[in-house]
């Protein structure tokens, strides 16, 4: 058999390859290296969730909304009962009346002319006093009065029950909103917690790849100087290093942004180091029907629709109550000793004609009830479809992660072969660089598949109304992406 001619300067390869050995040793373990900051706050997922629940403004706002509606419901709990009030007044007055006496003086002067002559001569010798031209009468006094009154609606056609029912339905709507907010922040935490882990892992892989390729690039320069490789191969190695450096910087920026987002989510002052790794349950989880049944009984969106329907029903009942008669009892009594004034009785009010078309309003409120029923049916269909989509996405992510095991093993084996080939002169530096780059790419993609699984699980649990059980699935995981 004819042996192939030896490559030029092949004797120089062992010496030149000594510079590659640290990089080759590092490349075998670079997937496990994840730099951590000593000042970072290390939190498990459960600890991060507890911290978020305690400090989330969104959850606090939702709780306050529920408390406000609960207080409203408590405030109208006794609506329609008796109302007792007390009233009092104190007064003082001053009244003046001016009297004109000129007409009276004139009448007095005319009295003598109508008397007999004998009397007139007598009167003429007796002076008759004159009244003043006017006189002012003055009246002033002070006083006080107090009374107690009571009004008791005996029958209002069901209006008070409708008001109480409407406020109670509003409370249930606020509770459903609060539950939905809880599921949403749980899913957000999963996105940012494990997203930060994935970003840090990608940054570590890219950084290690940059360091390894940098050493290959330096070795390629020595090999070019020794005449082992061509200038084109040297430029290709340099271009590969520049690309690796750009990818590493981008990955570092992405990891920094993800860390900031996680710190804001858990209200941490500094950076946060996630302690719970990306995970996966290699076996399929519960069947689709389990999650659909849970969603149709626990999803807060359905609770909100039910509350909206109850509000529409109470509004309809309130419209009907206005068409019925109203009966009230009333009474009032002066507060004083002795013979006090008082009054008591019954009042009835029944509107026989109203300029407002009550039939149209009643029909409108009935349509709102029908609308709520249709909305409920549509919501159930949409939620079932959403659950199925998330369930299938979860199973697809699981299969993808497991199927990528062969790709990871192949990439690692290619790195070993290229390393050995470079020692033996059967591979080039570019071949090894390509193998190292591909290994980092495959490991990053598999970590991304694990993150896709985690995110799909969070979405599935949210759509089924089971977000609080996420930690149970962490405990069941048999694959941990460390």
**Angle at CA 182, nearest 5°, toward 180 and 188?**
105
pTM: 0.76
- Exposure letters 137-149 (e unless 16+ CB within 10 A, then b): eeeeeeeeeebee
Two tokens at 81? 């009962």
Closest CA to 31 of 278, 274, 276, 217: 278
∠ CA(238), CA(241), CA(246), 5° rounding? 130
Which is more confident, 223 or 306? 306
Paired tokens of 346: 């019954």
Given a cut of 60, whether residue 482 has pLDDT beyond it is yes
pLDDT at residue 22 is higher than 60: no
What token pair was written down for 281? 């349950």
Q: Is the CB of residue 15 less than 8 Å from the CB of residue 217?
A: no
> What does the pLDDT read at residue 8?
37
φ and ψ at 424, to 5 degrees? -90, -5
CA atoms within 13 A on the CB side of 349: 11
Distant-in-sequence, close-in-space partners of 7: CB < 8 Å, separation ≥ 6: 228, 425
Residues 6+ apart with CB under 8 A from 300: 176, 177, 179, 180, 183, 465
Q: Token digits for 77?
A: 């709990």
List pLDDT tens digits, range 337-361.
878 889 999 999 998 888 888 889 8
User: How far apart are the C-alpha atoms of 477 and 271, rounded to whole Å?
Assistant: 27
pLDDT at 111: 61
- pLDDT level of residue 227 (50, 70, 90 thresholds): confident
Q: What's the pLDDT at 433?
A: 84
pLDDT in tens, 71-109: 999 999 998 899 999 998 898 988 888 877 777 666 666
Distance between start and end Cα atoms, the chain: 50
Q: Which domains does the chain have, with CATH numbers?
A: 13-82+155-481 (1.20.1600.10)
Average pLDDT over every residue of 50-73: 94
Distance CA 437, CA 415 (A): 9
Residue 35 has pLDDT above 50, yes or no: no
Residues in contact with 203: Cβ distance below 8 Å, sequence separation at least 6, in sequence order: 248, 251, 252, 254, 255
Q: Which of 183, 186, 178 is nearest to 45 (CA)?
A: 186
Q: What DSSP element (H or E) covers 366?
A: helix 358-403
Q: Given the structure tokens 């000593």, which residue do they identify?
A: 38
**What is the reported pLDDT for 16?**
34
Lowest-confidence segment of 40-54, 81-95, 124-138, 315-329 by average pLDDT: 124-138
pLDDT tens digits, one per residue of 2-14: 333 333 333 333 3
Q: Cα separation of 108 and 128, whole Å?
A: 9
As a whole number of angstroms, the distance between CA 390 and CA 462 comes to 10
Average pLDDT, the chain: 85
94 φ, ψ to 5°? Answer: -140, 120
Neighbours of 96 (CB within 10 A): 9
């Amino acid at each position: 058999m004819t042996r192939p001619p030896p490559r030029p300067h092949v004797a120089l390869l062992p010496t030149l390859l000594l510079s590659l050995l640290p990089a080759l040793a590092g490349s075998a373990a670079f997937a496990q290296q994840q730099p951590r900051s000593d000042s970072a706050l290390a939190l498990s997922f459960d600890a991060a969730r507890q911290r978020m629940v305690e400090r989330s403004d969104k959850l606090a706002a939702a709780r306050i909304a529920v408390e406000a509606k609960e207080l409203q419901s408590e405030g109208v709990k006794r609506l329609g009962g008796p109302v007792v009030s007390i009233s009092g007044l104190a007064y003082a007055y001053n009244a003046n009346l001016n009297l004109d006496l000129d007409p009276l003086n004139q009448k007095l002067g005319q009295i003598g002319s109508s008397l007999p002559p004998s009397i007139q001569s007598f009167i003429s010798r007796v002076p008759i006093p004159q009244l003043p031209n006017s006189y002012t009468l003055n009246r002033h006094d002070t006083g006080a009065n107090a009374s107690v009154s009571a009004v008791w609606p005996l029958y209002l056609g069901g209006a008070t029950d409708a008001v109480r029912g409407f406020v109670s339905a509003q409370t249930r709507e606020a509770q459903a909103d609060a539950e939905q907010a809880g599921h949403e922040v749980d899913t957000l935490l999963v996105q940012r917690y494990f997203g930060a882990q994935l970003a840090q892992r990608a940054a570590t892989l890219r950084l290690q790849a940059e360091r390894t390729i940098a050493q290959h690039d330096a070795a390629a320069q020595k090999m070019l100087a020794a005449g082992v490789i061509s200038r084109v191969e040297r430029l290709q190695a340099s271009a590969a290093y520049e690309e690796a450096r750009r990818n590493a910087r981008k990955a570092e920026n992405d990891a920094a942004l993800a860390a900031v987002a996680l710190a804001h989510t858990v209200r941490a002052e500094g950076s946060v180091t996630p302690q719970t790794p990306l995970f996966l349950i290699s076996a399929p989880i519960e069947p689709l029907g389990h999650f659909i049944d849970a969603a149709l009984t626990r999803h807060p969106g359905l609770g909100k629709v039910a509350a909206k329907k109850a509000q529409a029903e109470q509004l309809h009942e309130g419209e009907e109550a206005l068409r019925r008669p109203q009966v009230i009892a009333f009474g009032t009594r002066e507060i004083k000793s002795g013979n006090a004034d008082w009054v008591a009785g019954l009042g009835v009010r029944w509107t026989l004609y109203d300029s407002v078309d009550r039939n149209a309003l009643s029909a409108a409120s009935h349509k709102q009830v029908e609308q709520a029923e249709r909305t409920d049916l549509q919501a159930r269909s949409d939620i079932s479809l959403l659950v199925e989509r998330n369930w299938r996405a979860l199973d697809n992510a699981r299969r993808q992660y497991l199927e990528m095991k062969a790709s990871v093993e192949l990439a690692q084996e290619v790195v070993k072969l290229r390393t050995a080939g470079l020692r033996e002169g059967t591979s080039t530096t570019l071949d090894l660089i390509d193998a190292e780059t591909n290994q980092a790419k495959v490991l990053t993609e598999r970590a991304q598949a694990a993150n896709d699984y985690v995110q799909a699980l969070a979405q599935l649990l949210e759509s089924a109304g089971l977000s609080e059980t996420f930690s149970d699935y962490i405990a069941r995981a048999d694959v941990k992406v460390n």
